[in-house]
Amino acid sequence: MESFEVSKKEDGKVVILNIKGYLDAHTAPMLENELQQLVDAGKYNILVNFSELLYISSAGLGVFMGFIENIRNNEGDIKLSDMNSKIYRVFDLLGFPTLYDIVEEEQEALKKFNS
Amino acid sequence: MNLKKTINQPFIIAIILFVVVFLIDIAALFNLSLTTSIKNVRDLLVMSGTIFLLIAFVRWIQGIAIYNEIKYILYSYMFIFSINYFSPFCDRIANSVEHIILRSIASIVSLFFLIFVLALIRDLIFVQRKKGTSRNFNLLFILLIYYSFFSKSTNFDFNFKMQFPTAFVLPEWINIVYLVLTILMIYLIVINSFKTHWVKFINKNEKVKTFFSSIIILTLSILLIIKGKVVVSTYNITAGNFFSACCVFITVYFAFSIIVILLHLPTAGVYDRKVKELSSLHNLSRNILGVFDLERVMKIITDQTIEVAGANYCWLLVKNLGSNKFELVAQKDLPITLLDNFSENPTSELTELVEDNKTALKIDRISKYKLISEIKVWRNRSGSLLAIPLISNEQVMGILFAVKNNEYGFLADDQALLTMFANNATIAIENARLLKTSLEREQYEQELKVAHDAQRKLLPANMPETKTLEIDASCITANEVGGDYYDFFQYDKSKLGVIIGDVSGKGAEAAFYMAEVKGVIESLGSIYSSPKELLIKTNKILFNTLDKKTFISALYGIFDLRKKTFTFSRAGHCPLLYWSKEDKEVYLIEPAGLALGLDSGKNFQNILKEEKITYKPDDIFVFITDGVNEARNSDQEEFEEQRLCDIVFENHNQNATAIKNAILEKIETFVGNQKQHDDLTVIVIKVK
């Protein structure tokens, strides 16, 4: 089974999640738990860095859908950054760029959060 | 004891015989002269009755517990004794009908109970039946009968003088034969008295009681022998002799029994305990292997700990897999104050100590034990404690505790026994947990199977037949249902709808959503002639029913066979591959669009575009799901659309089925022995 890891760091009011490896139906619950914990702790400004992600399946995409409504209702956001072209392609095909703020680099997203 | 068995033929015969004897006695009273031969007939009748009674009893008393047999012997014998020892009917000459009736009843009742006792002793002898057991007893019985006839003394003595009432004189040597037979009888009495194996099969408590019972029986027997003249002997001399001989046998038998019980008494406790251990082991293993009822096994373990190890109270803690904390799963006789304490917080210093050491903990004197402060709670009421860990995979999964009120209560033997119980508990818990996991897995697999079947049924069974289009399609499902779906809708003769989609969920849920998509499109397809409008409407309906995390990518289009156009919209799905014969080129057409179920409607509507292609003969349309372009090889490379385009380019002269097969074969070769991780669907439509 392919591995998946989430690491977390905080930058001001923003929580940055670095996701690594394969995000599919098996590993999606790990990210789900992580996001749930942040939401429970009232941290609604979340940046997900995709730089080390190798693969994402539709179940992986579903994870973000499960939280976005609640987070936006609490004036927060999930922003996605540093996607490689293959991953971006998956998001693009499904039309996600119209729903999510997908930016090139982490710094850009942080600026957007702080503005 | 069955009543039907009681009234068996030998019993009836015996009763008839005794009635005949009674009638003869009445006749004698009225001075009807009785010849010697009639007297002998009377003897024979009485003894035959006795034999039939024994046969009846032997049949009757099967299956009585050993200790109960001893009790019956004691009560019967006390009854016989009271009739015969204190009876006023010992006067030989009966002078009234009343006397005869009472004497007859007393004698017959005595014989009745004597035979009952004899039958019970036979049953005791037969507890450990061997080759000669039956022969020895029967021979003894025959010799007792023989003795009754030929010893005409009322006392049990060795007067072998033959007083056979015949006119002719028997030779002297015949007395030697009688002597030999009598010695043989005494020998058989002793041989049969050795058969006291039943002592082994009663428990300590019963042994003690049996010991005293035997002493009473022995005493009564000796008293009867000393008195000699009993009621039965006045009723019939032969029966009286039989009675005396039986008394001797009973005396010898119980004398032996007393000795054997005395020899067994010191080891009786240990013996009982071993028997209990065996039976509790048997009980446990049967329950562990058979029932998988964890609660029952736990209860048996705590019950047996009390019963076999003699603990005053005990309890069993098992670690919960989820919380990783000890929980009280079973207890027996645990004092309420402690019980309250445990249900709140079963993890204590004591459990921690056992868990850390992973070995049994034996505290001989709780009052002097300093290592654990919490143990003070028990000082007032408890003497010693034994804690045995349940170890699985070198982890302590539970602890069995037993407490005795007295100090130094637990021996090494107890520890071994409780360790055995703890091992059994471990096995039971592991079995139960394994069973649960496998049941869950089975349920999951069953669900997947249902989903697979449902998915199969949702897909079209046959390809639609049209004059101008060649159509072929395949859907290869992965082990994990990814939720691929495709379908064709024939609206009228000139219009054919095509949908290909992918539900993001898995399992039964995906199949369920697929069915919903099929239903929506089937009902709306004929109303909306524009694919874009149909998808907008479909999205609205699905958004409300889909789970937040679930979405469906779909591509829907309509072939107008008359106008030779294909109009389609792409709701977040893989692009359409279109080979134009005229241009000699493969196009990936990807109009803007959002997957179904992601947005409530407005965004979806704004983004979605509709595309129209006017096709010519030999043009090819290929519809795929992401299982195709995301198929991975061992280097984790993806198949990607470009490879697909190349295949279509190379095979454009082939028919639809050949193109489809070429695509599937290439994917298969590309993937190699890697596991397919997603459903994979290909539809090829070629214009004729």
Opening angle at CA B453, ends B451 and B456, nearest 5: 110
CB contact at 8 A, B410 and B364: yes
pLDDT of residue B212: 93
Q: What is the pLDDT along chain A (115 residues), one digit of tens a residue?
A: 568 999 999 888 899 999 999 888 788 888 999 999 999 989 999 999 999 998 888 888 889 988 998 899 999 999 999 999 889 998 999 999 988 999 999 898 888 888 7
Q: How far is A87 from chain B (nearest CA, A)?
A: 11
Give Cβ neighbours of residue B495 (< 8 Å, ≥ 6 apart): B558, B559, B560, B561
How far apart are alpha carbons B541 and B550 in whole angstroms?
Answer: 14
How far apart are alpha carbons B56 and B2 in whole angstroms?
Answer: 12
Structure tokens that stand for B241 in this block: 């002799």
To the nearest 10 degrees (0 to 180), the angle between helices B237-290 and B97-125 is 40
pLDDT of residue B20: 86
- Per DSSP bridges, beta strands A77-81 and A45-56 are parallel
Q: How far is A7 from chain B (nearest CA, A)?
A: 22
Q: Which residues of chain B have pLDDT under 50?
A: 1-3, 153-168
Q: DSSP assignment of B575-641, as one string? A: PEEEEETTTTEEEEE------BTSSSSHHHHHH--EEEEE--TT-EEEEE-HHHHT-B-TT--B-HH
Tokens 């019939």 appear where? B236
Say what the pTM is: 0.53
Contacts A–B by Cβ distance under 8 A: 64
Backbone angles phi, psi at B507, to 5 degrees: 70, -150
Flag if B593 and A96 touch (Cβ within 8 Å).
no
Q: How far is A72 from chain B (nearest CA, A)?
A: 14
Structure tokens that stand for B588 in this block: 């990936």
Residue from B434, B398, B401 nearest B289 by CA: B434
Supply the ipTM of this predicted assembly: 0.90
pLDDT of residue B575: 94
pLDDT of residue B321: 78
Q: How far is B515 from chain A (nearest CA, A)?
A: 19
pLDDT of residue B170: 58
Structure tokens that stand for B426 in this block: 């471990």
Flag if A65 and B506 touch (Cβ within 8 Å).
no
Q: DSSP assignment of B159-228, as one string? A: --------SSPPPTTHHHHHHHHHHHHHHHHHHHHT--GGGGGS-HHHHHHHHHHHHHHHHHHHHHHHH-
Residue from B46, B96, B82 nearest B240 by CA: B46
For domain A4-109, give its CATH number from 3.30.750.24, 3.30.420.40, 3.40.50.1370, 3.20.20.70: 3.30.750.24
How far apart are alpha carbons B111 and B79 in whole angstroms?
Answer: 11
Structure tokens that stand for B184 in this block: 């043989």
Exposure of B213 in the CB half-sphere (CA atoms within 13 A): 20
Flag if A86 and B480 touch (Cβ within 8 Å).
no
How far apart are alpha carbons B347 and B298 in whole angstroms?
Answer: 19
pLDDT of residue B64: 82
Flag if B551 and A58 touch (Cβ within 8 Å).
yes
CB contact at 8 A, B405 and B382: yes
How far apart are alpha carbons B589 and B592 in whole angstroms?
Answer: 10
Structure tokens that stand for B141 in this block: 């019985």
Domain ranges of chain A: 4-109
Alpha-carbon torsion angle A85, A91, A94, A99, nearest 10: -140
Interface check for B501 against chain A (CB to CB < 8 A): the answer is no
pLDDT digits (tens, 9 = 90+) for B465-492: 888 999 999 988 776 556 888 999 988 8
pLDDT of residue B347: 59
What distances in angstroms separate CA B400 from CA B274, B325, B368, B383, B426, one per listed residue? 21, 15, 22, 17, 10
Give Cβ neighbours of residue B562 (< 8 Å, ≥ 6 apart): B494
Cross-strand bridge partners of residue B620: B579, B686
Interface check for B626 against chain A (CB to CB < 8 A): the answer is yes
